Structure 1
Amino acid sequence: MKKILFRADGNAQIGAGHIMRCLSLGMAARELGILCKYVTADDSFSGTIKEYGFECEILHTDYYDMEQELNKCLEVIQKFQPDVILADGYYVTHSYLTELKKYAKLAYIDDIKSFAYPVDVLINYNSGAMEMNYPKLYQDSKTELPQLILGEHFVPLRQEFQNLKQKPVKSKVTDILFSAGGADPERIALRFAREVVHNEQLSGYKFHLVLGAFEPDVEEIKKLAEKHTQICIHQNVKKMSELMQQCDMAVSAAGSTLYELCACGMPTITYVLADNQKLGESSLCGKGVMKSAGDVRTKTGFWDDLMEMMYLLAENCEERQKMRESAVRTVDGMGAEHIIKNLMSSEGKDVS
């Protein structure tokens, strides 16, 4: 039996994105008869990984210092003997990856182009990945260019986002989804809730706030929801695609959630809250798939602009229809399977 070892982390500081996309890949691999194991620095997401039916090895190390975990990680690798190691995290170093590559075919998921990663396969599924010019990066560094797997065709979504039946766009919006991601370090969810309940133009809509496992203001938001019935809180959502399809439009941080919204054909207003989100957000909005409210950290008048954008989009059925059509063309939901099949192939051809 073929084996894949995933090395990824998630916690209150970095959110859930790295873990969740690796779980999507693991589920696709399991469907193809491949045995998967996960290795994490701490136990923040070990329960989630086990709920999905996978084994999780906890290193009991600091996620931001991957050099010091190397010996422990190599012990796990030597015992498991994987055919492929897939690393996903912003704290990898050149020497760390070089060492892992000695033990198996090595893949890395990237979206920030920190350096020329010494790996066999480099994955960047974000919109705009082709614009990052990896060949030049590797040419300049004199590091061997890996196989490149690039673009939205490879977005690793969970099975629930595959083959979705698209509902008609309603002429009148009633329900709006909001997501700030798994950790919400900028504390956007609470500010959003406060803004919408005091905005008269938006008083006729119900807002569905998806709160991540590490949301810092969950109690304050619950208190607000008790006073204002237009705020509905969702936690530990088991079937996100169903919740998304119950809504008519969305507001979301520019992370992996955007691609789930695309698969659901959801007209979406997005915003940036981290530098690594800028290219993907710019590319999706440039293609007319979504609308940008800008960078929440730096844009003057961000909240007033966002409230107005929501109202105008909710009132424009024709625009929402166009956005829905663009979104479903962008993502087919089969990206995880596409990646796994490429990883297990020995051909090593670039794909995009």
Structure 2
Amino acid sequence: MKIAFRADASAEIGTGHIMRCITLADAFKGTGGQCYFICRSIPQSLQDVIKSKGHSFFQLPHGPPFIAREDDVAHASWLGVNWEVDALHTAAVISGIEPDWIVLDHYALDHRWEKQVRGPQCKLIVIDDLFDRPHIADILLDQNLGRSRENYKDLVPRDCQVLAGPEFALLRPEFEKMRAISIERRKKPKLEKLLITMGGADKDNVSGWLIDFFEEATDLGLLSVTVVLGASAAHADSVKMKASTSVIDVHVLQNVNNMAELMKDTDLCIGAAGSTSWERACLGVPSIIFSLADNQKQIAVDLDKHKIAKQAQLWDAASLLEIVKHLRKAKNLTRLGINAAKLVDGLGAQKVVEHVESYNVKAI
């Protein structure tokens, strides 16, 4: 089976779309699939990850710059070109691959692009979080809390399979492997080790602000703070310099390949309310979350509402201090971790592959 992925990454888009596609591609590869990534915008570091996993990579050519129009979808500008240009370029690559499935993970594209790119024998998986535009998908995946077919009833064909909710969260295998150990160590709760993960780009340098915050809040009793940055983090040098002169014990790691282990070993994580929310949940890690992008706002609200994570307001040091003090109480820390662990089992990618294989059998 051949599977072609269309996704991008940038400071504006973030890295989460590419990362979850890589996870799904790895799962397909594990069952004998051949995977191809087609990208317009992507850092070299992520290209290297794709290739190191044994997947093929295609870089789309430059095109005329994006011109806004009245019929654009909300995130159309993220593409860098108008959708017709991208469809033309992508279709040229697709014709050479002749995939069985296309996986589309891009907020800038909708049913118009899909009609231009998919062939008559090719099936389509759309990965979405926003339910704000129509698709002609055979399978639609939305891994967010509270999602159901109802959200997409007027946006996809009647026979489209909608895989909704965190049970389908696309996590790398190491999270499921670390799950039991991580949950077990939380039976004796404490708050000494803190992990900060603000996404692959962290374009607003929230990591730097958090280091400043914990330098001032010295009465919290933390023994160590670890900050994880993506390979393309915009303020990496500044964060590293700040950490090197900090009065608290701060370690900065960049472009790590052991995130599951780092999460397992921490007592509390502060992170963006993006796809890493499901990684933390799988491991039962108590979390404080910030909404750093439009597509994270509802995730943050829902996770806080269901007492799976505590939402903090960006740049509001007073509210963050109150939340951290609340979580210093063992019962509060424990309750958050238990609720989180119930949400995600770490087998989402495997479940999606099984649905695709089942779909293929029914189509024969």
Q: Give yes or no for TM over 0.5.
A: yes
Matched residue of 2:199: which SS?
Answer: coil
Change in 2 beyond 3 A, CA 1:98/1:16: same
Q: CA-to-partner distance for each residue in 1:291-339, whole Å, 9 max, x for gaps?
A: 1114x2xxxx7222112211321x2111221222111111010000111
Please tell me whether residue 273 in structure 1 is matched to residue 272 in structure 2: no
The aligned amino acid for 2:169 is: V
The aligned amino acid for 1:151 is: G
The aligned amino acid for 2:340 is: A
Q: Which residue of 1 aligns with 2:168?
A: 154
Q: CA-to-partner distance for each residue in 1:157-194, whole Å, 9 max, x for gaps?
A: 00111132233224432111111111112221111111
Q: CA-to-partner distance for each residue in 1:231-257, whole Å, 9 max, x for gaps?
A: 110111111101111111111110001
Q: Which residue of 2 aligns with 1:77?
A: 94
Deviates more, 1:232-241 or 1:204-213: 204-213
Q: CA-to-partner distance for each residue in 1:19-58, whole Å, 9 max, x for gaps?
A: 1000110111111111111111145221121122211111
The aligned amino acid for 1:9 is: D
Matches within 5 A, 1:124-203: 124-130=142-148, 133-137=151-155, 144=158, 146-163=160-177, 164=179, 165=181, 166-169=183-186, 170-202=188-220
Contact persistence 2:202–2:235 (CA under 8 A): no
Change in 2 beyond 3 A, CA 1:112/1:171: closer
- Say which of 354, 358, 362 aligns to 1:341: 354
TM-score, length of structure 1 as denominator length: 0.90
Distance 1:145 1:190 in 2: 48
Distance 2:111 2:288 in 1: 37
| CA drift at 1:269 | 1.0
Contact persistence 1:116–1:137 (CA under 8 A): yes
Contact persistence 2:203–2:235 (CA under 8 A): no
RMSD: 2.1
- Structure 1: gaps of 5 or more residues: none
Please tell me whether residue 64 in structure 1 is matched to residue 86 in structure 2: no
Deviates more, 1:143-152 or 1:323-332: 143-152
Q: Which residue of 2 aligns with 1:25?
A: 24
Q: CA-to-partner distance for each residue in 1:48-84, whole Å, 9 max, x for gaps?
A: 2112221111113463324212222112211111111
Contact persistence 1:167–1:245 (CA under 8 A): no
- Say which of 213, 237, 240 aligns to 2:231: 213
Which fold has the larger relative contact order, with Cα–Cα distance below 8 Å and residues 6 or more apart in sequence? 1
Contact persistence 2:149–2:162 (CA under 8 A): no
The aligned amino acid for 1:303 is: A
TM-score, length of structure 2 as denominator length: 0.87
Q: Which residue of 2 aligns with 1:260?
A: 279
Matched residue of 1:129: which SS?
Answer: coil
Distance 1:250 1:167 in 2: 17
- Structure 2: gaps of 5 or more residues: 64-78
